[in-house]
């Protein structure tokens, strides 16, 4: 809300100032498809606007797309959770390495969830698997 006051030839504007709402955002580029037996490094960035250091975490989960059951162990998702500390104006970059099982058929889901200071973001991707 703005209020304008005119004093002679001077204009005074009283503008309301709003504190910027803290945010957390995941930026990741998943594969469009993968082959059976293929390994992949999923790069992810956690973007934020925190001005002070906060400790948070990002997790990567794999689900079977048809029945929504966990396939983390089958996909050799060795480091499914990683901690990070926010540094002002600096995104946190990480990778989640996994391998599609030789026998896997169909599609799988990748779910990334980041949380710091009770602020959360998540992204969800569905990736088809093709035969070798």
- pLDDT tens figures, 28-60: 999 999 999 999 999 999 999 998 999 999 999
pLDDT tier, 16 (very low <50, low <70, confident <90, very high otherwise): very low
Is residue 14 in some structural domain?
Answer: no
Say if 108 falls within a structural domain.
yes
| Model pLDDT, residue 88 | 87
- The least confident of 1-15, 17-31, 110-124 is 1-15
CATH number of the domain at 94, please: 2.60.40.10
Number of domains in the chain: 1
Structure confidence at residue 17 (pLDDT)? 44
Q: Containing H/E element for 56?
A: strand 55-64
In a domain, 26, yes or no: yes
Q: Is residue 25 part of a domain?
A: yes
Judge whether 3 lies within some domain: no
Q: Long-range contacts for 23-27 (Cβ within 8 Å, ≥24 apart)?
A: 23/48, 23/49, 23/119, 23/121, 24/48, 24/56, 24/114, 24/115, 24/116, 24/119, 24/120, 24/121, 25/121, 26/58, 26/112, 26/114, 26/121, 26/122, 26/123, 27/91
């Amino acid at each position: 809300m703005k209020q304008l006051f005119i004093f002679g030839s001077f204009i005074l504007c009283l503008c309301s100032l709003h504190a910027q709402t803290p945010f957390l955002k995941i930026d990741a580029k998943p594969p469009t498809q993968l082959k059976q037996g293929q390994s992949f490094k999923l790069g992810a960035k956690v973007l934020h606007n925190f001005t002070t250091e906060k400790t948070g975490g990002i997790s990567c989960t794999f689900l079977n797309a048809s029945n929504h059951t966990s396939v983390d162990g089958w996909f050799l998702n060795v480091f499914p959770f990683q901690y990070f500390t926010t540094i002002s104006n600096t995104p946190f970059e990480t990778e989640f390495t996994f391998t599609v099982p030789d026998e896997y058929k169909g599609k799988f889901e990748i779910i990334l969830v980041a949380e710091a200071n009770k602020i959360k973001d998540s992204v969800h991707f569905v990736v088809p698997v093709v035969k070798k």
